[in-house]
Structure 1
Amino acid sequence: MKKLYFPVSLSCVVIMLFLMCSCGNTKKLRYFQDISEANTAAPLALASYNEAIIQPDDILAINVNTTDPAATISINSRNGVYVNSSSPQSGSANPLSGYLVSKDGEVEIPVLGKIKLAGLTTVQARAAVREKAVKSFNDPVVDVRFTNFRVTVLGEVNHPASYILPNEQVTLLDAIGYAGDLTIYGRRTNILLIRKSPDGRNFSVKLDMTKKDLLNSPYFYLKQNDVVYVEPLKTKVLNNDNNLVKYLSLAATLFTAVILAKRYW
């Protein structure tokens, strides 16, 4: 009886040891591990936010409200459908409407004509459009927004996609949240951010979401057309569909069978 009990217990022990090791690794899933766990408020240094800059090929929703209904309709007719402010849209099924910024940085607005907006923030663009509008209308009210503020999140997240966001002040945490958070296989210490600089060149930077320094990184706030890639952990292949547990269980079963065979043969 003792010999029969030993291999069965060994099977359980092998599986329990694996599960214990897996539980021990849950610390690796935590964000900002170096923030104190004390139940007291602690100040955190946050990165300063720099407003997004309008670039060629951006699409802008430009609204100019005037006392002339016909002019107002003419100016705003190209803006069409706005990005839903309650949730981001992903994919390209819904075409974007608005004014396309040309390669030389200009938009052409009915009644107002061409206005150069590339290189400006949306606040500065509102002022530039209003300056042009006051030449033809009394007290125009101007609003300028991006309709293609897009970030793409790929890799080990629950909902990888391109997201058109309802505002410009978007952080890396916001983008990860839109994508449904990282999976348990996402490598939190090596998040790749790919960005195009104003001169048109692409560059990349690695970010560590387990460190609070991320909050003060110059890359904490995202820019339009940023790409975030979450690298998979090396253990993903082994753990896929719980294969490792299955293999350990199978190995323990075979080991038990061998012991029993030696016992009775």
Structure 2
Amino acid sequence: MTRLSLSYPLVLLLCTIMLASSCGTNKNIPYFKDIPDSLYGSPKSIPSFAFKDPLIQANDILQISILTLDPQVNNILTAANSTSYAVQPGSANLPATASAVTGFLVDKNGMVELPVIGKIQVAGLTTAVARDTIHNKVAAFYKDPVVNVRFANFNITVLGEVARPATYVVPSEKVSILDAIGMAGDLTIFGKRENVLLIRDSMGAKQVVRFDLNSSSTLLSPYFYLRQGDVVYVEPNKSKVASTDAVRTRNLTLAASGISLLIVILTRL
């Protein structure tokens, strides 16, 4: 009777600790857990931040295609558009042998230089406005030109607790924080979903903001849609930190062994 009264509280305490540690790590895993489960048959509209077209900046690389009625002119413009520029290593959706993108480099003054047409100011413009600006310039030289402008080096970097951390060159200008995480293969089980960090270059300074992916309020953030060169960092949670801490792991193992030994000794009294 004495053995049972001594050992039972210790066994109960050990089981409680183990149960708490196994359940406590699950509460922050789901995305948008504030959206109720009752929406299966009746969808609900959730407001989100409106997308704004990104602005062209110095050092961006633009793919500018100009088609005219003169095939010879088209060949000249196409050749100029094939200038190669190095991109950051590890661009995950480029072939393994690819190390450059082609296009026109926006110089430090915010201008691109086109054959025959000359230099055109494009910094601070969206690609749609830049297209119209270039079209007006080209129309002074050639009849009925067709102009298209897009980013050639729109890249996003995803680091930390994701399946495939890398720099991703994306073909679309409309990329959200969820798109970036999806390209990186989603967060690992150790990713801190309530504390995802975004780092952005802005006029020579660094802007930093954090997202809580457990909450649908993320959809309302003005930073929900990413910009060229953004860096997303997923912080590891306490479980990952503990699993990589050799000293703490050793201490926990010794403590568990000591408790087990104590239980064995008390049950044999």
State whether TM-score is above 0.5.
yes
Corresponding residue of 1:231: 235
SS at match of 2:47: coil
Preserved CA contact (<8 Å) 2:11 2:263: no
Q: Does 1:95 align with 2:100?
A: yes
Corresponding residue of 2:56: 54
Residues of 2 paired with 1:124 and 1:166: CA distance? 18
Residues 118-139 of structure 1: per-residue CA shift (max 9 Å, x gap): 1110000110111111112121
| Residue 35 to residue 67, structure 1, CA distance change in 2 (3 Å) | same
Corresponding residue of 2:119: 114
Q: Does 1:165 align with 2:167?
A: no
Preserved CA contact (<8 Å) 1:65 1:72: yes
| Residue 137 to residue 253, structure 1, CA distance change in 2 (3 Å) | same
Preserved CA contact (<8 Å) 1:18 1:245: no
* Residue ranges of structure 1 left out of the alignment (5+ in a row): none
SS at match of 1:145: strand
> After superposition, where does 1:169-248 map in structure 2 within 5 Å?
169-197=174-202, 199-240=203-244
Residues of 2 paired with 1:11 and 1:251: CA distance? 14
Residues 57-99 of structure 1: per-residue CA shift (max 9 Å, x gap): 0000000011111111111223338x9xxx8339995112110
| Residue 255 to residue 91, structure 1, CA distance change in 2 (3 Å) | same
| Residue 237 to residue 138, structure 1, CA distance change in 2 (3 Å) | same
Corresponding residue of 1:41: 43
Preserved CA contact (<8 Å) 2:60 2:151: yes
Corresponding residue of 1:64: 66
Preserved CA contact (<8 Å) 1:153 1:229: yes
SS at match of 1:77: helix
| Residue 89 to residue 13, structure 1, CA distance change in 2 (3 Å) | farther
Residues 135-186 of structure 1: per-residue CA shift (max 9 Å, x gap): 1212111110101111111111111111111110000000111111111111
Deviation at 1:235, TM superposition (A): 2.4
Residues of 1 paired with 2:164 and 2:119: CA distance? 40
Deviation at 1:116, TM superposition (A): 0.9
Aligned AA (1:43): S
Aligned AA (1:218): P
Preserved CA contact (<8 Å) 2:80 2:115: no
Moved over 6 A (4+): 10-13, 241-250, 261-265
Preserved CA contact (<8 Å) 1:194 1:202: yes
Residues 33-63 of structure 1: per-residue CA shift (max 9 Å, x gap): 1111112211110110100100010000000
Preserved CA contact (<8 Å) 2:242 2:249: no
* Residue ranges of structure 2 left out of the alignment (5+ in a row): none
SS at match of 1:18: helix
Deviation at 1:242, TM superposition (A): 11
Residues 10-32 of structure 1: per-residue CA shift (max 9 Å, x gap): 88995796366424532311111
Aligned residue among 109, 117, 134 for 1:104: 109
Q: TM-score, normalised by structure 2?
A: 0.81
Preserved CA contact (<8 Å) 1:59 1:148: yes
| Residue 90 to residue 237, structure 1, CA distance change in 2 (3 Å) | farther
Between stretches 108-117 and 245-254, larger displacement belongs to 245-254
Between stretches 247-256 and 32-41, larger displacement belongs to 247-256
Preserved CA contact (<8 Å) 1:157 1:176: yes
Corresponding residue of 1:143: 148
Preserved CA contact (<8 Å) 1:106 1:118: yes
Aligned AA (1:173): L
